[in-house]
Amino acid sequence: MLTVLGDANFGVWAWELNTGRVFWSRHSQTLFGLDDGPLSANGVEYLQLVAEEDRSTVARLFESVLRNDERHIRLEHRVRWPDGSLRWLEITGQRHRAHKAGQPMLIGVIRDNTEQHLQAEALQQSQERLQLALESVDLGTWDWHIPSGELYASARASDLQGAMTGAYQGSFQEFFAHVPNDDRQKMRQAYADLISGRNQVYQVVYRAQLADGSIRHLESTARLYRDESGKPLRMAGIIMDITERVLREQRLSASEEKFATLFQGSPDPISLTRIRDGRFLEINPSFSKTFGWSATEIVGRTAPEIGFWKDETRRQMLYAQLSRDRSLENAEAEFHTVDGRVVTCVVSCRFIRVERRQCIITTFRDITKRQQAEAALRASEAKFAKAFRTSADAITISERHSGKFIEVNEGFYRLTGYHPTEVIGRSAAELRLWPGDQRAQIIATVQREGRMVNQEMIGQDRSGQIKSIEVSVEPMELNGVECLLLTARDVSQLKAAQAQVHHMAYHDPLTNLPNRTLLMERLSQQSALHKRHELRGALLFLDLDHFKRINDSLGHPVGDAVLKMITARLEASIRHEDTVARLGGDEFVVLLTGLTGKRSQVTRHVRQVAEKLRKLLAEPMLFDGHRLQVTPSIGIALIPDHGDTPADLLKRADIALYRAKDAGRNAIQLFRTSMQEAASARLRLENELRLALMRNEFELHLQPQVDARSGLIIGAEALLRWCHPSLGPQSPQTFIPVLEESGLIIDVGGWVIDEACRITAKLLEQRLVSAEQFSLCVNISPRQFRQNDFVERVSLALERSGLPRQMVKLEITESIVIQNLDDTIAKMHRLRNLGVSFAMDDFGTGYSSLTYLKRLPVDLLKIDQSFVRDAIVDGNDAQIIRAIITIAASMQLAVIAEGVEQQAQLDMLQLQGCHLYQGYLFSPPLPEVEFCALLQGRC
């Protein structure tokens, strides 16, 4: 099953809520971008797998699960893979109770949703770009179907028109209802001109009165489309808000007044001079404040007359530039103030026409701001000098051609061992810092690309030690000399760490064996090599039998020591060209390569190797005074006979491994096609069962329960049946285990409860049964009973059917009881308070029923048919039946026997005091219609 989910790109996980332990499938760790080694699963380390921006959300969800006893969990978050990429994962799970010790668990699956997120983001970006394009030009669109008068308008068009909020679809007349009558007439005329052919494009400007009474000016442009006969069919166009343009035109007459306001209120000095004679026409208050002249003192006079410009030549040069370029931007010049001070300003000039006279408007800006900028520059230079001196990296400034050092920092000393005083004036070649011609390579790179960025090179320090150095170089000019600014850092430790990370990415951290990733690479290489040279190979998939018991009883340190010993034995038993890999947990793979001969010879040889490994690994080990013996189960896939790809080979070896486990463990199985067919058949059956639930292919058959003393039917047991649409009726022994294993039993069990209530309510309505003398037994699976909302589901089914609660009897088995006794008793009492009663099914087949029975609110014991079947000929079975009846009588419980097929069996039961029974002696399970007919015939 894990293999199938893995092939479907699903990972499986389980989280024990009490212990915090998390169990992962191999594919789950692959989805997190991890190797297949053991993964500690406490919460902190899991959050470290989550992308940093999602950690707080995931942490809150985990806290909620632990605090609120939530039944379902679903979240999406990102993880960052070792290659730096972000991947989206979807994690879903459901709360269950583990079979052992009743531990609450969340069990679920993980899948990679990255592609869906990328597609969604691409779609959203496309939609945003389209919307941005429309919004950027502030356009609305409309489409009018002329024969029907139906018009569609975009949300923007509807908003501009004032028709409504959001997109509009409705009458053409209603959409333009807010247009004044005279503008409607303009629109009709424009339409008529378009129809007649006088105009090819419909374009009209009109007004729309909004709900608040304001007027909006709009311009609509459209094209006409005709049908095959030439008649007008539809028009499609755009609406543009031109209110601002219209208002701007209306405000044009007042622009001079506004200009005067801006002129007078500007914080910068502004002057207006006449070109003809250079006389000042007007100055603003800021001009007077900066230079000291009032308007009465300067208007009517020229700049030379008042000595305004410090340098007359500069004035003439800037005027020539203004005349040539028609504008002057931020030119520097010096001016006198009225009290003789010199002020440096940047000047901007424009030609302007005032009252039909050509003038120049000039804006001045005090040089104080430039001085502030120069101060900031000096501060920046000081910061650079400080950064240069204190940087952890080595920084040098050297002459480009000679290589002589002009300046070095303390980082250079830490990298090379040379103090700054020892190297200034000397070159790198003299100090032998760059072995070989590496400095020439630096110069060539700078000449070719203009700079060097993060180039890895080999450096040498004062003692001759070789170091890996990351170098960046920028050309610069210093006092007219071409120089190089070089930054270098020691990356030797980083490279060693990278090599270690690379090794860890391909090897198991506990055993140092190749992991799944490296195994798959070698499988690919060997498959190609075998095909080219017509060689054979084999893949041996090993799993240690019951290894979990060692971890659980002796602890993980002993378990790890066992795994290391297994590793040593495997490595010592194979050839140098073969590979031993650990996939995780107690799973190992041995890759045998370069085998020659016929398939039968290779198969025999591989089996011999597998048998040798099986015996070797089964030899006893001593750890901390414990004598341990671990046996392996081994599955074998032949190369290339059992697959062309590494995934196929590994999957088929895994299938053979599980067949070896099914055969009793400590066994060897060679893959056969029939094994995969069985796995595929199991998957097909599960899929068909899912479809069966959706297509209502299930039905309930009812087996009567009879009181032998009166012959009355006192109840029935509801039994699930499935009629396949093409294969016909299916055996419950075939499909019910698959429902249990796949988890479908939860949904199907819910349907059974609803259907059983419906049928019983119908029998009661038809007066075929009475509420006081009839009850329907419904079998409950352990997984179904463990659901947190099981009580609520039963209560809801009873409410929907209106059925008296005492008519429903839930059958539970010992497997439900022993998983979590306290939870079982609590749920049973809650249901008992609703009026529901309980029967203990298959009583006597387990080991703990007598221990727990006295604590359970059970009303009925069911004697298992396995005792009834042979009770006539087997004295032991008869004794067990007698004991069960005695226990029931002592606890004042009713008792009923299952599987009664012979009169002699019934006679024996009655002699023992058991008068209630069900079985083929009276009737097999019947469909609803036939059961109703049976009841009618006995009324």
Q: What is the DSSP string of 837-877?
A: EEEEEEETSSSSHHHHHTTS---EEEE-HHHHHTTTT-HHH
Mean pLDDT of 741-770: 92
pLDDT higher than threshold 50 for residue 61:
yes
* Per-residue pLDDT, 252: 53
pLDDT tens sequence across 163-210:
778 888 888 888 888 899 999 999 999 989 988 888 888 999 999 888
Cα separation, 162 vs 239, whole angstroms: 12
Mind listing the pLDDT tens digit for each residue in 586-615? 999 999 998 988 888 989 999 999 999 999
CA angle 263, 329, 254 (to 5 degrees): 25
Per-residue pLDDT, averaged over 839-865, amounts to: 76
Contact 780, 821 (CB under 8 A): no
If you average pLDDT over every residue of the chain, what do you get?
Answer: 85
- 263, 264, 268, 269 alpha-carbon torsion, rounded to 10°: 90
| pLDDT, tens digit (0-9, with 9 covering 90-100), for 397-441 | 899 888 898 888 888 888 888 888 888 888 888 888 888 888 888
> Does a cis peptide bond (omega within 30 degrees of 0) precede residue 640?
yes
pLDDT digits (tens, 9 = 90+) for 889-914: 888 999 999 999 999 999 999 999 99
Q: How far apart are CA 61 and CA 72, in angstroms?
A: 11
Q: What is the mean pLDDT of residues 805-826?
A: 82
Alpha carbon distance 624, 548 (integer Å): 18
**928 band by pLDDT with thresholds 50, 70 and 90:** very high
Report pLDDT digits (tens) over 97-141. 655 556 778 888 888 888 888 887 777 777 566 555 555 557 888
Q: What is the pLDDT of residues 655-706, one digit of tens each?
A: 898 888 877 889 999 988 777 676 677 778 888 889 988 989 999 999 999 9
* 3-state SS track over 420-467: HHHHECCEHHHHCCCCCCHHHHHHHHHHHHCCEEEEEEEEECCCCCEE
pLDDT tens digits for 425-484?
888 888 888 888 888 888 899 999 999 998 888 888 888 888 888 899 999 888 888 999
Read out DSSP for 534-557? T-EEEEEEEEETTHHHHHHHH-HH
* pTM, to two decimals: 0.41
pLDDT digits (tens, 9 = 90+) for 1-34: 445 555 556 788 887 877 777 777 877 888 888 7
Q: Is 385 helix (H, G, I), strand (E, B) or coil?
A: helix
Give the type of residue at 264.
Answer: Q
Structure confidence by residue, pLDDT tens digits, 220-267: 999 999 988 889 999 998 898 888 888 776 665 455 566 677 788 888
In the chain, what percentage of residues exceed pLDDT 70?
92
- Asked if pLDDT for residue 494 goes beyond 80, the answer is no
Report the alpha-carbon distance of residue 70 to residue 143 in Å, rounded.
52
User: Looking at residues 636-665, what average pLDDT do you find?
Assistant: 87
